[in-house]
Amino acid sequence: MSTKIVIAGGFGAGKTTLVGSVSEIPAVTTEAVMTEASIGHDDISATPHKVTTTVAMDFGRITVDQQLIMYMFGTPGQTRFWFMWDDLVRGAVGAVVVVDCRRLAESFEAVDYFETNRRIPYIVALNRFDGQLEYTAEQVREALEVSPSVPILDFDARDRSSGGTVLKTLLRYALSTNAAAAPVG
């Protein structure tokens, strides 16, 4: 059996890094060198060494156990590429919204997408850049207006184990959310 999840979030939050760190196959990425077209659109002040960006999607795979394979689809973070999101989330059982706490404003639209436009369960994963978080989970919940029922956890996108914990949390949450929404009878 297979399942699909989406890794979403703002520009430079760590989506590609998360997919690459947990995938058991070499992750497929659509990283392109940033050009002058990004000037005035992409804020790289918190990530001055960033020279590439996802322009379509990332893809990875994890065998959870003998009965379940999980396919991960990472979204592009820039608003100008969001026309692809509807196609990428189609059929997904859940989503992870990766947040860079240094730039919370970059996360509003991704959270809003899952809060208002879709019936896809999502969790929020706070990426620890340089081992630091600028805000607590509760401060982020309040700032992004995330429902109290949505799990928020911190992690390091570069670390396979840490990323694995995020994905397990998503799967548990998606299962409990979908079970609660299933009709009885």
Of the listed ranges 54-63, 103-112, 122-131, the least confidently predicted one is 54-63
3-state secondary structure at position 160: helix
C-alpha 80, offset from chain centre: 17
Q: Evaluate if residue 57 carries a pLDDT over 90.
A: no
Q: Evaluate if residue 113 carries a pLDDT over 60.
A: yes
Residue 82 vs residue 139, higher pLDDT:
139
Give the range of the structural domain holding residue 133, as residue numbers without chain letter. 2-181
CA dist., res. 5 & res. 18, Å (int): 13
Is there a contact between 12 and 38 (Cβ–Cβ < 8 Å)? Answer: no
Cα-based angle 111, 142, 134 (whole degrees, multiple of 5):
90
- Distant-in-sequence, close-in-space partners of 18: CB < 8 Å, separation ≥ 6: 7, 74, 96, 98, 125, 127, 157, 163, 166
Closest CA to 74 of 120, 129, 39, 23: 23
> Per the structure, how many domains does the chain have?
1
CA dist., res. 120 & res. 72, Å (int): 14
Q: What is the pTM of this model?
A: 0.83
pLDDT 10s digits, 19-31: 999 999 988 776 6
- Compute the average pLDDT of residues 133-151: 93
pLDDT 10s digits, 2-49: 999 999 998 888 999 999 999 999 887 766 655 565 555 555 555 555
Q: What pLDDT sits at residue 161?
A: 96
CA dist., res. 35 & res. 51, Å (int): 9
R_g over Cα of the chain: 16
**According to DSSP H, which parts of the chain are helical?**
15-22, 85-89, 108-112, 137-144, 160-181
Q: What pLDDT sits at residue 170?
A: 97
pLDDT 10s digits, 159-179: 999 999 999 999 999 999 876
Q: Evaluate if residue 118 carries a pLDDT over 70.
A: no
Q: What is the CATH number of the domain that holds 164?
A: 3.40.50.300
